[in-house]
């Protein structure tokens, strides 16, 4: 009897889909995002590990347009938990699933499998799109993974993406972008570098800081939904904001900031303490890193309303309640429905993450819960406060990492 051969990850249809998308998305990308995509002419027929900085919701397509043949993207479990849509994506392009905020051995094994089959793999080591315009924290585990794959690394740098489509915004601005391979690290170079040196080379090759006046990005709704990223006011501390057109206003003190086409900020009737939002973002991080969150265990820091779901990984999302009361305390998140009062103590919670523009995932008791609120919902503060609590409880009073 013949032994059943293991099914290959790579399929002929993936190449067909890639070629169809190339013909459609090439012109679309240039028109919609104003991007100049530089083809990677050194690729030939070799598989690569593509590492990219993450700026826009369209980054994976920019990568696909720069490289020949299908690219297999490592994607979080959220992409695979949308029922029929997820099944269609899996059939067409077969992304490599990974469980966010965990050490996913299966994902590593799948990457090795694809590399051995001669497939090119793409990963965004940040795991998150930048809120500030600056390349964010990269998990050090990317270095040992890159070493295991035994293929050359192509560092794909995207510039101008934050100006064109900030993570906190729903609109694409008129401006210029560029996508290109900034460096190739050969297997011989990888073998000669320590993991610290390799990680440093990856960070250096992908680092972008767009808190500079390097062009203009035009749209009448330039500041709209900036409150998804801002929750600390330089004048009154923890606060809430509301945006409209090109202005964002603190709901406590009433001060307004205008977001200019140059990405700069100006105070409306006063001198802004920040030149760019990155300056504000850094101030906000410093504020939280000096905050004693344990003083907020009796009264909530923030209250929101939202829809409440359970995520069944790699399957679907089940809506548990259409509308819940959501409360953020210094040591927990509380969710109240008509019939239930759920308490997610940070001590018992594995992770709190933000997905997309403003979805919130809570990993608790072996389950994944998802919060979806209105367009102005700020999920980032829940992630930051969770990590600040964890830092304090672990004795890392000076710990700086707040989840992104």
Picking from 314, 321, 382, 386, the residue whose alpha carbon sits closest to that of residue 350 is 386
Integer Cα distance of 59 and 126 in angstroms? 13
23 close to 127: Cβ distance less than 8 angstroms: no
Environment class of residue 188 by beta-carbon count within 10 Å: exposed (0-12), middle (13-18) or buried (19+)? exposed
Nearest to 50 by CA among 31, 28, 65, 35: 65
Q: Considering the chain, what is the average pLDDT of its residues?
A: 91
The answer to whether residue 123 scores a pLDDT higher than 50 is yes
Q: Which helix (H) or strand (E) holds 35?
A: strand 35-37
Residue 266 neighbours by CB under 8 Å, 6+ apart? 257, 258, 260, 272
Predicted confidence (pLDDT) per residue in 244-285, tens digit: 999 999 999 999 999 999 999 999 999 999 999 999 999 999
Predicted local distance difference test score (pLDDT) of residue 96: 87
Tokens of 183: 């460096």
Over residues 75-87, mean pLDDT? 78
Q: Which residue, among 189, 169, 158, has the nearest Cα to 36 in the 3D structure?
A: 158
Say if CB 326 and CB 306 are below 8 A apart: yes
pLDDT of residue 299: 95
Q: How far apart are CA 403 and CA 286, in angstroms?
A: 14
Q: What share of the chain is helix, strand, coil (3-state, %, to 5)?
A: 30, 30, 40
Give pLDDT, residue 178. 95
Of 384, 60, 61, which is closest to residue 229 (Cα–Cα)?
Answer: 384
pLDDT score recorded for residue 102: 61
CB-CB contact of 145 with 178 (8 Å)? no
Least confident of 16-20, 52-56, 104-108, 243-247: 104-108
- pLDDT of 3 reads 47
* DSSP one-letter string for 200-269: HHHHHHH--B--S--S--B-TTTTTTGGGT--EETTTEE--EEEETTEEEETTT--EEEE-TTSBEEESS
pLDDT at 399 over 70: no
Would you give the DSSP letter of residue 53?
-
**Mean pLDDT, residues 306-325 taken together:** 91
Helix (H) or strand (E) holding 32: helix 12-33
243 bridge partner residues: 248
Give the pLDDT score at 184.
96
- For residue 101, pLDDT over 70 is answered with no
Query: Which position has the higher pLDDT, 347 or 43?
Result: 347
Spatial CB neighbours of 91, under 8 Å, sequence gap ≥ 6: 13
Distance of CA 76 to the CA centre of its chain: 10
- Higher-pLDDT residue of 124 and 316 is 124
DSSP-based three-state secondary structure for 112:
helix
12 vs 334: which has the higher pLDDT: 334
pLDDT of residue 1 exceeding 50: no
Buried b (16+ CB within 10 A) or exposed e, 88-117: eeeebbbbbbbbbbeebeebbebbeebbee
Span 203-212, pLDDT tens digits: 999 999 999 9
């Amino acid at each position: 009897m013949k032994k059943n051969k293991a099914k290959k990850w790579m399929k002929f249809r993936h190449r067909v889909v890639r070629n169809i998308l190339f013909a459609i998305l090439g012109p679309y990308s240039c028109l919609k995002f104003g991007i100049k995509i530089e083809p990677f002419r050194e690729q030939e027929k070799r598989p690569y590990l593509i590492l990219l900085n993450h700026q826009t919701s369209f980054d994976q397509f920019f990568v696909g347009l720069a490289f020949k043949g299908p690219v297999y993207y490592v994607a979080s479990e959220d992409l695979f938990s949308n029922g029929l849509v997820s099944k269609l994506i899996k059939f067409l392009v077969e992304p490599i699933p990974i469980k966010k905020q965990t050490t996913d051995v299966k994902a590593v094994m799948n990457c090795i499998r694809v590399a051995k089959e001669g497939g090119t793999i793409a990963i965004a080591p940040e795991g998150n799109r930048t809120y500030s315009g600056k390349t964010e924290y990269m998990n050090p585990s990317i270095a040992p993974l890159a070493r295991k794959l035994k293929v050359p690394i192509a560092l794909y740098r995207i510039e101008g993406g934050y100006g064109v489509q900030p993570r906190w915004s729903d609109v694409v601005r008129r401006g210029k972008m560029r996508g290109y391979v900034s460096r190739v690290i050969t297997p011989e170079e990888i073998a000669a570098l320590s993991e610290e040196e390799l990680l440093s080379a990856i960070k250096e090759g992908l680092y972008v800081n767009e808190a500079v006046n390097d062009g203009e990005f035009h749209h009448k709704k330039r500041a709209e939904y900036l409150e998804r990223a801002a929750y600390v006011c330089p004048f009154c501390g923890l606060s809430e904001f509301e945006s409209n057109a090109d202005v964002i206003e603190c709901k406590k003190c009433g001060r307004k900031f205008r977001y200019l086409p140059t990405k700069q900020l100006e105070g409306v009737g006063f001198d802004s303490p920040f030149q760019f939002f990155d300056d504000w973002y850094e101030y906000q991080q410093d504020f939280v890193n000096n905050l004693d969150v344990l003083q907020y265990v009796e009264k909530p820091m923030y209250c929101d309303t939202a829809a409440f779901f359970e995520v069944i990984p790699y399957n679907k999302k089940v809506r548990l309640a259409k509308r819940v009361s959501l409360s953020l305390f210094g040591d927990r998140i509380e969710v109240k429905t008509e019939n239930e009062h759920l308490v997610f103590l940070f001590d018992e919670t594995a992770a709190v993450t933000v997905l997309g523009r403003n979805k919130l995932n809570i990993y608790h008791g072996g389950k994944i819960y998802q919060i979806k609120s209105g367009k102005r919902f700020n999920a980032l503060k829940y992630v930051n406060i969770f990590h600040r609590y964890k830092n304090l409880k672990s004795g890392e009073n000076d710990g700086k990492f707040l989840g992104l």
